[in-house]
Homo-oligomer: A and B are copies of this chain.
Amino acid sequence: MTQILIIGGSDAGISAALRAREVDETCQITMVMADAYPNYSICGLPYYLSGEVKDWHALAHRTRDEITSQRITLLTDHEATRLDLTERIVDVRDRAGSIQRVAYDQLVIATGAMPRRPAIDGVDQEGVFFLHSMESSFAFQRFLTTQRPRRVAIVGGGYIGLETAEALTHRGLRVTLLQRGASVLSTVDPTLGASIRATLERHRVTVLPEMPVSAIERHGKRFQVRRGANTIADVDAVLVATGVEPNTTLGRVAGLPLGARGAIVVDERMATVNPGVYAAGDCVVTLHRLLQEPTYLPLGTTAHKQGRVAGENAVGGDLRFAGSVGTQVVRVFETVIARTGLLEREALAAGYAPLTIEITTWDHKAYYPGAQEMVIRLTADRETTRVLGAQMLGAVSGGIAKRIDVVAAGLYAGMTAGELNDLDLSYTPPLGSPWDPLQTAAQAWLHERDAGSSSSLTSPAQLPQ
């Protein structure tokens, strides 16, 4: 009977286990994971800290029973310490320190990512938090509850930084957001970053751009966050959210080749170079459909898909990961920001001839109550007119997260701007427009491209309201 061993109990690992079981009734599936929280929604941690999710147990995508009922053996609190690719054995250490040797026929490495620890003096002291695992969120939650800080500095203006800024504000804390670059959320263009910043400031979050942090100094119960000689924030706690890096020690030591950003190299079948060894999720390189090369793009959506592919292939399947187009969305208070595909600078670097336009329009017919403005930036290739990417910003009620998905589907299929304009999209006045905003953007793009280098957009009379 085939022994499937999966290292890691988060999105990719669980997806692999469930898919392996779905395809193969008979294989043995064992999952080892370093903590006690299988299949928890790490993306939900900000909402646990905000108090919107009262009970952390609710963050579990599935209960332990739901997993084990699929005949998946769960070894929680077991850390994989050594991988022997020749003998096909993984050493696993429990909390007590005893080591167990687990043999496998097929292995799925799903060790995920870990927070990047920036070069900041004092980043490792008590009172400075990271947010990545259940345990790290318990520690922060405990601090918030027992120490009752009033002011918190967040280092990093990315997705986690923004979500946590909202969460802590929701909880009544005063937040200062410190970011290295000029614009909040550097994964979208600065015009959208400026809108996000305005949203944050409306909710009394202090945003300090171009503020690289050099040190965090403790003074009694207070922390001074410093940039060189200057104190830029004087707070009761610090949260560092400067991104993640792949957690690949196990694979690297065992000799698996690493690629982009030190992530494990896999092919479209999620197979490593070692026969019978698959890897998936935040610890591996991810194929980008528009770049047609591996990149590092750690996302829960991708981890689920890659895990499913690895799980099916581990039991003899031949599934392929179709690739990512980099779709991401974040809600910051009442504003939703989404992107898919490439930014103009990324498209340029990849050898495309990108042209980007920006439109502002209503998210449904302006005559029906509740219409909100939304912004679309659309990037496509001047020569082929192929769509390369889109960014959108609008209200929660504006369906931004699903509108970006329409572009994501178009990117998957390699559509041109004209084809986006041709799509048969839905319309009813309370929810849309007869020309969907995306199509208004496509028409503006075509108009701009035909106008050559001039900067005139489609004239207002041509744009539907």
Contacts and interface: CB of A to CB of B under 8 A. Distances in A.
A378 to B, nearest CB: 15
Give the interface centre of A44, A67, A163 by most chain B CB atoms within 10 Å.
A44
A201 B82 CA distance: 63
A447 B408 contact: no
Interface string A8-43: 000100000010001000000000000000000101
Contacts of A163: 428
Contacts of A427: 43, 299-301, 329
Interface string A396-431: 110101111110111111010001001111111111
Contacts of A87: none
A253 interface: no
B340 A426 contact: yes
B53 A425 contact: no
Contact of A62 (B47, B403, B432, B461): B461
A327 interface: yes
B53 A368 contact: yes
Nearest to A337: B428
Contact of A53 (B18, B300, B328, B367): B367
B426 A408 contact: yes
Given A61-B465, A62-B465, A461-B69, A329 B431 contact: yes
Contacts of A401: 399, 426, 428, 431-432
A216 B167 CA distance: 60
A422 B340 CA distance: 15
A118 interface: no
Interface string A249-285: 0000000000000000000000000000000000000
A391 to B, nearest CB: 12
Contacts of A424: 289, 301-302, 323-327, 340, 408, 411-412
A134 B336 CA distance: 36
In which size bucket is the chain A interface? 35 or more
Given A367-B44, A401-B426, A461 B340 contact: no
Copies of this chain in its oligomeric complex: 2
A435 interface: yes
A465 B427 CA distance: 29
Give the interface centre of A53, A59, A430 by most chain B CB atoms within 10 Å.
A430
A66 interface: yes
Contact of A336 (B67, B324, B431): B431
A403 to B, nearest CB: 5
Given A47-B368, A336-B431, A409 B402 contact: no
A58 interface: yes
Nearest to A45: B429
Contacts of A243: none
Contacts of A404: 426
A52 interface: yes
A464 interface: yes
19 contacts: A22-B462, A43-B434, A61-B434, A304-B435, A326-B424, A329-B432, A330-B428, A340-B424, A403-B405, A405-B406, A405-B423, A406-B409, A408-B423, A408-B425, A409-B413, A409-B423, A412-B413, A412-B422, A413-B413
Interface of A: 11, 18, 22, 41, 43-44, 47, 52-53, 58-59, 61-62, 66-67, 69-70, 163, 289, 299-305, 321-331, 336, 338, 340, 365-369, 396-397, 399, 401-406, 408-413, 415, 419, 422-432, 434-436, 447, 458, 460-462, 464-465
